[in-house]
Structure 1
Amino acid sequence: MKPKYIIYPLLILLIGYLIYNKFYSASAKEKKIGPASAKGGKKLNKPVPVNVMLVKDTAFSNAIDITGTVNANEQVDLRSETAGNVTGIYFKEGSHVQKGQLLVTVYNKDQVASLKSIQVQIKLAEQTEYRNRILLQKEAVSKEEYDTSLSSLNVFRSQADLIRAQIAKTEVRAPFSGIIGLRNISPGGYLSPTSSIATLVNMDPAKITFSVPEKYLPLIKNGSKIHFNLESSRDNFVGTVYAIEPNLDLTSRSITIRAKAPNPKGLLRAGSFAKINLALEQIPKTILVPTECVIPDIKSSKVFVVSNGVAASRNVKTDVRTATKIQIVDGLNPGDSLIVSGIIQLRPKVPLKIVKIIK
Structure 2
Amino acid sequence: MKTRYIVYAALVLVVAFLIFNKFHGAKNKDGSGPTAGAAKNGKRKNGPVPVKVMIVKDTSVSNNIDLTGTIDPNEKVNLVAQTSGNITGIYFQEGSHVSKGQVLVKVYNQDLIASLKQNQYQVALAKENEYRNRVLLQKEAVSQQEYDTSLSSFNSLKAQSDVIKAQIARTEIRAPFTGTIGLRSVSPGSYLSPQTSIATLVSTDPMKVTFSVPERYKPLITVNSKIKFNIASSQKTFTGTVYAVEPAIDPTSRTLTVRARAANPKGEITAGGFAKINLTLDQTPRTIMVPTECVVPDIKSSKVFIAQNGKAVAKTVQTDLRTDTQIEIVSGLKAGDSLIVSGIIQMRPKVPLKIIKVIK
Give the alignment's TM-score, normalised by structure 1: 0.83
Find the aligned partners of 2:223 and 2:318 in 1 and give their Cα distance: 31
SS in 2 for 1:148: helix
Shift of 1:135: 1.3
1:350 matched to 2:351: yes
Shift of 1:296: 2.5
Shift of 1:50: 2.0
Counterpart residue identity of residue 344, structure 2: I
Q: Which residue of 1 aligns with 2:213?
A: 212
Find the aligned partners of 2:300 and 2:319 in 1 and give their Cα distance: 12
**Change in CA separation of 1:267 and 1:63 when aligned onto 2, cut-off 3 Å:** same
Contact residue 46 and residue 351 of structure 1 kept, 8 A: yes
Contact residue 35 and residue 44 of structure 1 kept, 8 A: no
Shift of 1:256: 1.8
SS in 2 for 1:333: coil
Find the aligned partners of 1:43 and 1:129 in 2 and give their Cα distance: 120
Find the aligned partners of 1:338 and 1:252 in 2 and give their Cα distance: 41
Q: Which residue of 1 aligns with 2:69?
A: 68
Shift of 1:193: 1.4
Find the aligned partners of 1:97 and 1:124 in 2 and give their Cα distance: 42
Find the aligned partners of 1:229 and 1:311 in 2 and give their Cα distance: 45
Counterpart residue identity of residue 296, structure 1: P
Shift of 1:89: 0.7
SS in 2 for 1:193: coil
Find the aligned partners of 1:184 and 1:135 in 2 and give their Cα distance: 60
Question: Which one is further off, 307-316 or 136-145?
Answer: 307-316
Find the aligned partners of 1:310 and 1:195 in 2 and give their Cα distance: 83
1:268 matched to 2:249: no
Question: Which one is further off, 126-135 or 145-154?
Answer: 126-135
1:131 matched to 2:140: no
Give the unaligned 5+ runs of structure 2. 1-34
Find the aligned partners of 2:293 and 2:82 in 1 and give their Cα distance: 65
Counterpart residue identity of residue 241, structure 2: T
Q: Which residue of 1 aligns with 2:280?
A: 279
Find the aligned partners of 1:189 and 1:315 in 2 and give their Cα distance: 80
SS in 2 for 1:238: strand
Counterpart residue identity of residue 322, structure 1: T
Find the aligned partners of 1:205 and 1:305 in 2 and give their Cα distance: 52
Question: Which one is further off, 262-271 or 272-281?
Answer: 272-281
Find the aligned partners of 2:273 and 2:327 in 1 and give their Cα distance: 32
Q: Which residue of 2 aligns with 1:235?
A: 236
**Change in CA separation of 1:289 and 1:42 when aligned onto 2, cut-off 3 Å:** closer
Counterpart residue identity of residue 214, structure 1: E
Q: Which residue of 2 aligns with 1:195?
A: 196
Q: Which residue of 1 aligns with 2:173?
A: 172
Matches within 5 A, 1:234-253: 234-253=235-254
**Change in CA separation of 1:45 and 1:105 when aligned onto 2, cut-off 3 Å:** same
String of CA shifts for 1:240-296, please: whole Å, max 9, x gaps: 221111112223322222222222211122122222222222322110001111123
Find the aligned partners of 1:288 and 1:58 in 2 and give their Cα distance: 7
Counterpart residue identity of residue 167, structure 1: I
**Change in CA separation of 1:80 and 1:286 when aligned onto 2, cut-off 3 Å:** same
Q: Which residue of 2 aligns with 1:109?
A: 110
Q: Which residue of 2 aligns with 1:183?
A: 184
**Change in CA separation of 1:299 and 1:250 when aligned onto 2, cut-off 3 Å:** farther
Counterpart residue identity of residue 177, structure 2: F
SS in 2 for 1:263: coil
Shift of 1:83: 2.0
Shift of 1:102: 0.7
Question: Which one is further off, 340-349 or 124-133?
Answer: 340-349
**Change in CA separation of 1:354 and 1:42 when aligned onto 2, cut-off 3 Å:** closer
**Change in CA separation of 1:44 and 1:230 when aligned onto 2, cut-off 3 Å:** closer
Q: Which residue of 2 aligns with 1:96?
A: 97
SS in 2 for 1:72: strand
SS in 1 for 2:130: helix
Q: Which residue of 2 aligns with 1:18?
A: none
Shift of 1:42: 12
1:309 matched to 2:313: no
Q: Which residue of 2 aligns with 1:27?
A: none
**Change in CA separation of 1:65 and 1:108 when aligned onto 2, cut-off 3 Å:** same
Counterpart residue identity of residue 120, structure 1: Y
Find the aligned partners of 1:43 and 1:145 in 2 and give their Cα distance: 125
**Change in CA separation of 1:117 and 1:298 when aligned onto 2, cut-off 3 Å:** farther
Q: Which residue of 2 aligns with 1:146?
A: 147
Find the aligned partners of 1:44 and 1:276 in 2 and give their Cα distance: 50
Count of aligned pairs between the two proteins: 323
